[in-house]
Amino acid sequence: MSELLSKSEEEALVSRAKSGDGTAYEALVRHNADRLYAVVLRFSATESDAEEATQEAFLRAWRSIGRFRGDARFFTWLYRIGVNEAKRILDRRPGADVVASTEERRIDDVADEAPHVDVQAEGTELREVLEQAIRRLPDKYRAAVVLRDVEGLSTAEAAEALGLREAAFKSRLHRGRMALRAAVAHYVLDDDDPLPEPGAPELS
Amino acid sequence: MHSPRFHLDHRFTRGRLSAFHDGELGPVERRRVEHHIADCPDCGRAARSLQRVIGGLALLRRRNRSRLAAGVIERLRTQTRRDGDGSRH
């Protein structure tokens, strides 16, 4: 049950949850859990950390739902709590990085290799480098890309989920996508698209 | 040498590749981008690789995470019972 709630359906559930109705809050959990996890995962070192951060975020949000003013969507409030939880968990792990160290080495290695990988491995490798590249994006681009392109929300839905006007959302999405494209350039150019010669003037 | 018009179209296109991919440009803007992409190898390459990036991102989606919601709900119920407020559930 992860389809988007209409604003009025959500307001009704939030209102009941605020008055202590656990069943209403559980419905909010079911509707928001997948999307929250998808965002939080990209702020976490491991999947289990992301699950823990997601659970903690829902527990924390339940305890403080009285302070949710309802002028934004529930998810907008919730995902900020989730991202903070993920960062707290990350800080607790000495030396941990949101980008796994083995993957980091992989990405540095490929920069010196031929741009083309064998077709069989291409899908998997692109997924891996994209996962790592997302984690290197500035925070505000990360959530935009995850909700729009990973989770498949429409522009309007993703903008609303993040509490942004559409124009501001589109700008973040564009910058995030272009940064990802630059980061994984070796994986997404085909035989007709040789890399530009080093030092070749490029229009900007 | 490219014409000044080419440079204007180039800058115009670079800022709109994302919206172009999403089909969110109006007809005039879309034609301007299409025309430039056909003319400019750099922008053609950028548009194609952006498309592959966005296609790749869609593959990262993980489905069937209903266990996660169930786990959260279990913890909520446990915590509520522990808090001695059985009336909520």
| Residue A180: inside a domain | yes
Collect all residues with Cβ–Cβ distance below 8 Å to A132 and sequence separation of at least 6.
A99, A100, A103, A104, A106, A107
| Residue A1: inside a domain | no
> What's the structural domain count of chain A?
2
Stretches where chain B sits below pLDDT 50 are: 86, 88-89
Domain that holds residue B59: 4-84
A109 and A183: one domain? yes
Mean of the pLDDT values across residues A24-42?
Answer: 95
A54 and A131: one domain? no
Nearest-CB residue to B73 (from A26, A151, A170): A26
pLDDT band at A99 (very low <50, low <70, confident <90, very high): low
A56 and A135: one domain? no
Confidence (pLDDT) at B65? 67
Q: How far is CA B55 from CA A44, A126, B42, B61, in A?
A: 23, 10, 20, 11
Nearest-CB residue to A55 (from B18, B56, B75): B75
Contact B45 A189 (CB under 8 A): yes
- Closest residue by Cα to residue A108 from A133, A137, A90, A127: A133
- Whether the Cβ atoms of residue A30 and residue A1 lie closer than 8 Å to each other: yes
- Chain B hits for A23, CB-CB cut-off 8 Å, are 89
Confidence (pLDDT) at A84? 96
Confidence (pLDDT) at A192? 53
The CATH number linked to B34 is 1.10.10
A88 and A116: one domain? no
Confidence (pLDDT) at B49? 93
> What's the structural domain count of chain B?
1
- What is the ipTM score, two decimals? 0.85
pLDDT at residue A195 greater than cutoff 60: no
| Residue A14: inside a domain | yes
Confidence (pLDDT) at A121? 57
Distance from the Cα of residue A144 to its chain's centroid: 7
CA A59/CA A127 separation, integer angstroms: 31
| Residue A198: inside a domain | no
Confidence (pLDDT) at B83? 76
Residue, of A110 and A32, whose pLDDT is higher: A32
pLDDT band at A113 (very low <50, low <70, confident <90, very high): very low
A123 and A77: one domain? no
Domain that holds residue A167: 101-188
Q: How far is CA A85 from CA A60, A120, A169, B38, in A?
A: 9, 37, 23, 47
| Residue B89: inside a domain | no
| Residue B63: inside a domain | yes
pLDDT at residue A186 greater than cutoff 90: no
| Residue B16: inside a domain | yes
Confidence (pLDDT) at A171? 95
Collect all residues with Cβ–Cβ distance below 8 Å to A16 and sequence separation of at least 6.
A23, A24
| Residue B28: inside a domain | yes
pLDDT at residue A54 greater than cutoff 80: yes
A88 and A112: one domain? no
How many Cβ pairs closer than 8 A exist between chain A and B?
Answer: 122
- Chain B hits for A38, CB-CB cut-off 8 Å, are 61-62
Q: Could you tell me where the DSSP H helices lie in A19-138?
A: 22-41, 47-63, 74-92, 101-110, 119-136
Residue B88, Cβ density class (10 Å: 0-12 exposed, 13-18 middle, ≥19 buried):
middle
A85 and A115: one domain? no
A51 and A22: one domain? yes
- Chain B hits for A126, CB-CB cut-off 8 Å, are 52, 56, 59
Collect all residues with Cβ–Cβ distance below 8 Å to A118 and sequence separation of at least 6.
none
